[in-house]
Amino acid sequence: MAVSQNDKVTWLTQEAYDRLKAEYEYLTGPARAEIAKKIEAAREEGDLRENGGYHAAKDEQGKLEARIYRLREILENAKVGQPPADDGIVEPGMTVTVRFDGEDEEVTFLLASREESGVPIDVYSPNSPLGKAITGKKVGERATFTLPNGKQRSVEILEAVPYVGSK
């Protein structure tokens, strides 16, 4: 799955879309019913103020609803199977190779959402300092960004190609 948050659009492979949709359907169906049963069973135990099982079930319900909300947002804004253009301009959904100033080693990663899982490549968020700095840049250009510790770091963009999945 490669994800782009440009204008709230999320680019997904068909496989990733199907996986997220299946998770959404499970969470909004069987998982919700299961948590409702846990809450009801805990309620029947009595005083809710000191009922650890009830509070644990309510916490679990909150996490479940947050995940449902996130999945709904992704799926509603999904563009399935339409990778970014292969024009050498960095954007989410692309495999990017950079070289940091002062280093000889090249680093290759997928510029995508943190929802990405299971790909055989590191994933950097488009919203990270590096992601923001390189988005829109062309191969051969340089970008400078600020690290969380306040220091500046520069990279040269060596390659930017649409992510095609594991080979």
pLDDT of residue 9: 64
CA 45 – CA 99 distance, rounded (Å): 60
The CATH number for 37's domain is 1.10.287.180
**10-residue stretch averages of pLDDT, the chain, 167 residues long:** 52 77 96 93 80 88 95 85 81 92 92 68 87 95 94 96 72
The CATH number for 145's domain is 3.10.50.30
Distance of CA 70 to the CA centre of its chain: 10
Lookup: tokens for 31: 């998982």
Residue 102 and residue 45 share a domain: no
Lookup: tokens for 4: 């782009």
Residue 132 and residue 105 share a domain: yes
Residue 139 and residue 102 share a domain: yes
Give the domain-ending residue among 35, 50, 80: 80
Residue 16 and residue 76 share a domain: yes
Closest CA to 35 of 20, 51, 18, 53: 53
Residue 149 and residue 100 share a domain: yes
87 occurs within a structural domain: no
The kind and range of the H/E element at 70 are: helix 52-76
Q: Specify the number of domains making up the chain.
A: 2
Expressed as residue numbers, the domain containing 98 is 94-162
120 occurs within a structural domain: yes
pLDDT of residue 82: 65
Residue 100 and residue 72 share a domain: no
